[in-house]
Homo-oligomer: A and B are copies of this chain.
Amino acid sequence: MGVEIERKFLVDKDKWAHVIKPTGTHYRQGYLLDEAKRIIRVRTTDKQGFLTIKGITNGITRKEYEYKIPVEEGVELLDAFAESEVEKIRYKITFEGKLWEVDEFHGDNTGLLMAEIELQHEDEAFIKPDWITIEVSNDGRYYNSNLSKNPFKNWGNKS
């Protein structure tokens, strides 16, 4: 079991386009269970599957249990059991000694660019890259589980 502390931000599309970045990883992720206190997620990359159980969200901290599973089984679980799904390309970038994960969403969430930073403590300081814009850590619309059900393309006001 891990405790996950992360902060999420929107990304400026034009500035991001000019960032030199490594090849991204294609993610499919779907939800077998999505409740306020319990989330069960299946994620696949091209090579690996993951089964993840997440607990109560308490501010930006939540308990997380993640298990590697064969990618073929991950795909089967997504196809047979997931109620909803998101697709994205994830880029990992280190900036000022911190790892940022930037998600470029596809499908019904095309146009959404979001960055996450994982922290050791809730009040840990870090320096933001210039392509980071507003924080959305506590905006439920941006949870991946919610994006799978109410995708970005359906939002009336995208500001």
A93 to B147, CA, bound (A): 49
A10 at interface, CB cutoff 8 A: no
Most buried by B among A1, A51, A53, A73: A53
Is A112's CB within 8 Å of the partner chain B?
no
| A32: contacting residue among B1, B38, B77, CB under 8 A | B38
> A63: CB under 8 A from chain B?
yes
Contacting pair A53 B67 (CB below 8 A): no
How many copies of this chain?
2
Interface size on A, residues (CB 8 A): 17
A20 to chain B: which residues have CB within 8 Å? none
Q: Is the CB of A55 within 8 A of B67?
A: no
- Within A42-64, the residues touching B (CB, 8 Å) are 51, 53, 55, 63
Q: Is the CB of A67 within 8 A of B51?
A: yes
> Is A80 at the interface (CB under 8 A from chain B)?
yes
Q: Quick check: is A33 within 8 A (CB to CB) of the other chain?
A: yes
What residue of chain B has the Cβ atom nearest to residue A74's Cβ? B65
Contact between B51 and A32, CB atoms less than 8 A apart: no
CB <8 Å contact, B55 and A81:
yes
Q: Is the CB of A76 within 8 A of B1?
A: yes
Is there a chain B Cβ closer than 8 Å to A69's Cβ? yes
**Nearest B residue to A55 by beta-carbon distance?**
B80
Cβ distance A29 to chain B, nearest Cβ, rounded Å? 16
